[in-house]
């Protein structure tokens, strides 16, 4: 083994040991604070975790949610036995999850969140409880899920032109356009992606639209060039909408870092949920704000669907009461007031003013007057603008 490889491995082991020590400190502090030496008695056991959703976020001209200010964040207390049965249950979940993480760090192994849930159904009531506990621990330790040896089962899929290589430089997969494959978990899979032969990346909200674009050969149109198309498989169990998972967000972020000159475009419905999905890709989410620097892709450009430009293509739908409430809540988001979100803010305001929304698949997929023709025109315009800015 060469010296560089040894250094990398030693560095990884050192980071794992540091995390193990920090976890041990959490447990030791809990045990020492639970004993009242003056009265020779035991008190309630408590562990303090960061309350991710109450964190204060700093703003930047280049990214709406830049980081979570840990020293200003509120804490949540997980205790045993606690006043209610739910306290004991949550405490048990925390200790069990810390045990899994410690085992990962000790053995340099990786598990998926889904594995943790299915192997711990006797303890966890839902996948959401697993996800929340893992993210709370990661935020408290100020590390990523991957640093804890935990990855998400990917929901993202992609098609188009790319070359996937392992860390040794050997080609493991070549995308030829028609193949639809899972978005890789870059670090856990020990792979990186080469995109030297494409003109743009297109991130699509809806899987149904993605599949129609792939079947039509949209990834290689003569007037647009080659592309990589990315979407998220909708989970009716989790959210029923195309919200991006951490793996897909991290993958798109890695593309923007490796290929800063490559244009990244996003196409979503012109409704509050579509704008929120685009904002999650571009600015990050409140729940995962502690990882925004690794997940948010500020260079992702929203190109549509645009409410006023869609009239000649598809029919409008009426903005429902729940849509209106969602739009109003979004206008209170931290990131919506930054300069990079001005077009998204304006789109929300148009929806509220007109009382209408536009979904991308309502227009059908005709080449001339349908979604495919509309999207091709949007991309032609934005690719030309990108070339002018070079």
State yes or no: pLDDT of 3 exceeds 50: no
State yes or no: pLDDT of 210 exceeds 70: yes
Average pLDDT, integer, range 16-27: 88
Two tokens at 301? 């450009």
Q: pLDDT tier at 35 (50, 70, 90 boundaries)?
A: confident
Q: Give the torsion sign (CA, 41, 42, 44, 47).
A: positive
Backbone angles phi, psi at 109, to 5 degrees: -115, 170
CB atoms within 10 A of CB 130: 23
Q: State residue 248's pLDDT score.
A: 92
Compare 305 and 364 and report the one with higher pLDDT: 305
Encode pLDDT of 243-279 as tens digits: 888 889 999 999 999 999 999 999 999 999 999 999 9
Region at 331 (left for phi over 0; alpha for psi -120 to 50; beta for the rest): alpha
Q: State residue 69's pLDDT score.
A: 39
Q: State residue 52's pLDDT score.
A: 67
Q: State residue 297's pLDDT score.
A: 94
State yes or no: pLDDT of 225 exceeds 90: yes
Torsion of CA 318, 321, 322, 326, to 10 degrees: 90
Q: How far apart are CA 119 and CA 102, in angstroms?
A: 16
Q: State residue 302's pLDDT score.
A: 96
Q: State residue 316's pLDDT score.
A: 83
Q: State residue 118's pLDDT score.
A: 87
3-class DSSP assignment, residue 6: helix
Q: State residue 219's pLDDT score.
A: 95
Q: State residue 189's pLDDT score.
A: 61
CB atoms within 10 A of CB 158: 25
CB burial class (10 A; 0-12, 13-18, 19+) of residue 76?
middle
The rounded mean pLDDT for the chain is 82
Q: State residue 55's pLDDT score.
A: 45
Q: What is the CATH number of domain 156-389?
A: 3.40.1360.10
Encode pLDDT of 305-347 as tens digits: 998 887 666 678 899 999 999 999 999 888 888 999 999 999 9
Look up the pTM and report it: 0.75
3-class DSSP assignment, residue 232: strand
Q: State residue 68's pLDDT score.
A: 40
CB 274 within 8 A of CB 237: no
Q: How far apart are CA 365 and CA 363, in angstroms?
A: 7
Compare 208 and 41 and report the one with higher pLDDT: 208
Q: pLDDT tier at 166 (50, 70, 90 boundaries)?
A: confident
Q: Can you list the alpha helix ranges (DSSP code H) found in the chain?
A: 3-33, 85-107, 113-119, 127-141, 186-189, 207-215, 246-258, 272-283, 292-295, 321-330, 342-354, 371-389
Half-sphere exposure of 218 (CA within 13 A, CB side): 30
Q: State residue 156's pLDDT score.
A: 92
Percent of the chain whose pLDDT exceeds 90: 38
Encode pLDDT of 74-86 as tens digits: 778 888 877 676 7
Q: pLDDT tier at 241 (50, 70, 90 boundaries)?
A: low
CB atoms within 10 A of CB 23: 18
Q: Hey, which CATH number is domain 3-151, 2.40.128.20, 3.40.50.970, 1.10.10.10, 1.10.150.120?
A: 1.10.10.10
State yes or no: pLDDT of 388 exceeds 60: yes
Percent of the chain whose pLDDT exceeds 70: 82
DSSP string, 60-121: -SS-SS-EE-GGGS-EEEEEES-SSHHHHHHHHHHHHHHHHHHHHHHHT--EEHHHHHHHTT
State yes or no: pLDDT of 165 exceeds 80: yes
Two tokens at 212? 């129609």
Q: Range with the lowest mean pLDDT among 4-8, 235-239, 241-245, 319-323? A: 4-8
State yes or no: pLDDT of 18 exceeds 80: yes
Give residue limits of the domains in the chain: 3-151, 156-389
Helices 3-33, 127-141: inter-axial angle, 10-degree rounding? 100
Encode pLDDT of 94-133 as tens digits: 999 999 999 988 888 888 888 898 888 889 988 889 988 9
Q: State residue 62's pLDDT score.
A: 39
């Amino acid at each position: 083994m060469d010296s560089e490889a040894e250094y990398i491995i030693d560095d990884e082991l050192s980071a794992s040991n540091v995390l193990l020590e920090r976890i041990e400190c959490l447990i030791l502090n809990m045990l020492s604070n639970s004993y009242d030496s003056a009265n020779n008695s035991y008190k309630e056991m408590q562990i303090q975790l960061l309350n991710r959703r109450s964190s204060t976020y700093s703003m930047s001209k280049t990214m709406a949610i830049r980081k979570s200010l840990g020293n200003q964040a509120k804490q949540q207390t997980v205790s045993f036995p606690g006043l209610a049965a739910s306290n004991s249950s949550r405490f048990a979940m925390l200790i069990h999850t810390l045990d899994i993480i410690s085992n990962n760090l000790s053995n340099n192994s990786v598990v998926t969140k889904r594995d943790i849930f299915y192997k711990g159904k006797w303890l966890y009531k839902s996948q959401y409880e697993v996800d929340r506990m893992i993210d709370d621990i990661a935020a408290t330790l100020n590390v990523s899920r991957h640093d804890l040896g935990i990855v998400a089962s990917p929901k993202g899929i992609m098609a188009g032109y790319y070359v996937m290589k392992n860390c040794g430089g050997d080609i493991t997969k070549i995308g030829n356009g028609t193949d639809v494959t899972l978005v890789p978990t870059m670090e856990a899979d020990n792979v990186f992606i080469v995109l030297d032969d494409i003109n743009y990346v297109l991130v699509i909200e809806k899987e149904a639209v993605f599949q129609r674009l792939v079947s039509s050969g949209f990834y290689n149109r003569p007037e647009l060039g080659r592309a990589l198309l990315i979407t998220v498989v909708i989970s009716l169990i989790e959210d029923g909408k195309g919200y991006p998972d951490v793996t897909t967000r991290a993958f798109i972020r890695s593309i923007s870092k490796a290929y800063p000159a490559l244009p990244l475009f996003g196409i979503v419905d012109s409704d509050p949920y579509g704008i929120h999905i685009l904002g999650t890709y571009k600015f990050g989410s409140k729940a995962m704000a502690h990882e925004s620097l690794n997940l948010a892709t500020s260079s992702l450009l929203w190109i549509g669907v645009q409410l006023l430009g869609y009239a000649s293509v598809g029919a409008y739908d009426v903005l429902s009461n729940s849509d209106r409430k969602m739009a109003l809540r979004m206008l209170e988001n931290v990131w919506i007031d930054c300069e990079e979100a001005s077009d998204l803010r304006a789109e929300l305001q148009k929806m509220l003013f007109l009382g209408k929304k536009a979904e991308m698949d309502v227009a059908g997929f005709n080449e001339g007057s349908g979604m495919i023709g509309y999207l091709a025109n949007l991309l032609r315009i934005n690719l030309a603008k990108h070339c002018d800015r070079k």
